[in-house]
Structure 1
């Protein structure tokens, strides 16, 4: 399966999930992204994944990603990259093992893809 096929199927499944599809960026989130720029947001995503998701064991797993406070947190819930159990279920990465840089980069890319799709969706509303 190609990356494009995987992403198409992943985002189709996320879009069809009642809980995952309920997350959307608010205007203040979009304003923040525009203010900081996508490169800075990508850096934030990398830092959050490395600190909160990549370790083999996370003391507060399942509670490490707030539901608000940063657009990346919303994106993590929308893309099921918010905790190791969601990552296991949706992205087939087993918990209890540190995430490789390749896997971290994949999660970052999924989150950034969702953010860009969400920004395009908001722009089409205007």
Structure 2
């Protein structure tokens, strides 16, 4: 188990985060578009909504449904800069660097992958 997996499993035990599952239309998007396309969507959404030093509507910028990335962001505590700081140790108040953006996208896509692997419970 690597550091990210351990952290995501810990986050997944939190009562709020544990409620999230990929269902219905959100799951259908992954089925229809594929994980590679969803990864590109995640990178674009993170770049626009989370990466700036002071994101617009920080703390309220991530919807709870409408795209699998949004659901995964809440499940992995990558939904706002406060959660990134609290759960992942990525400080707020400065723009995310490329390594941090890649980390966030990897966390989101790993969680989505866990939703498709019945032998591996999601965090």
Residue in 2 that maps onto 1:95: 92
Residue in 2 that maps onto 1:62: 59
TM-score, with structure 1 as normaliser:
0.89
For the residue of structure 1 that corresponds to 2:63, the secondary structure is coil
Aligned-partner Cα distance in 2 for 1:73–1:63: 12
Structure 2: segments with no counterpart, 5+ residues: none
Query: Contact between 2:26 and 2:65, CA under 8 Å: does it hold in 1?
Result: no
CA RMSD in angstroms, aligned pairs only: 1.8
- Greater RCO (CA < 8 Å, at least 6 residues apart): 2
Structure 1: segments with no counterpart, 5+ residues: none
User: Which of structure 1's runs of 4+ aligned residues deviate more than 4 A?
Assistant: none
| Number of residue pairs matched by the alignment | 121
Who wins on radius of gyration, i.e. which is larger? 1
1:55-103 per-position Cα deviation (integer Å, ceiling 9, x unaligned): 0011310010001111110000000000000000011011110000110
